[in-house]
Amino acid sequence: MFSTLESNYKSDNASSNDLESSAWNQFFLKYDCCAVHEVNGTTNDFDNTPWCTTSGSCQDTSSQIPRTCCKDVTLNNYTSAPSNCHASVNRGTYKQNCMDPLKKLSVNNIEEYQLSLLSFSLLFPIILQVIEITIVIVLMFPRCYGSVNEN
């Protein structure tokens, strides 16, 4: 995950034509997180991204983290994120890393999946019994189901 961010992140514009950067920014906004590892200041996961090394506001030194990483920003207002967040990277102004929300999502999905399996495993024997009882009834009482020859 980190290598993908480091190799492909080129813009902090959430609606840029660069689909990978846009996807990262949308992810940061949707899951209220920033980067893969915890941001601890101006040295962070974005330092070696194309956004910081070849192009973008990080490379221009006007940002140290994406504006989409700032607390309380949305898709509608991230472009006006406070500079003390993205330029100065002051503690308490930016979001937590994205690993914690991902872990929670995977745990929730696993738990939901396990619950589905558990429900099915509990219901399956009951379903088999109902099928078995239905077959026995049909075989024992064929007249009720129109399979007897009438003379």
Residue by residue, pLDDT tens for the chain (151 residues) are: 888 899 999 999 998 888 899 999 999 999 999 999 999 888 999 999 999 999 888 888 889 999 999 999 999 999 999 999 999 999 999 999 998 888 777 766 655 554 455 555 555 566 666 666 666 665 666 555 555 555 5
Residue 135: is it exposed, middle or buried by C-beta count within 10 angstroms (0-12/13-18/19+)? Answer: exposed
Cβ pair 65, 85 in contact under 8 A: yes
DSSP the chain: -HHHHHHH-----TT-S-HHHHHHHHHHHHTT--SSSPP-SSSSTTTTSHHHHTSSTTTTTS-SS-GGGBTT--TTTGGG--HHHHTT--TTSBPPPSHHHHHHHHHHHHHHHHHHHHHHHHHHHHHHHHHHHHHHHHHH-GGGGT-SPP-
Which pTM was predicted? 0.69
Tell me the β-bridge partners of 94: 70
Report how far residue 92's alpha carbon sits from residue 139's, in angstroms, rounded to the nearest whole number.
73
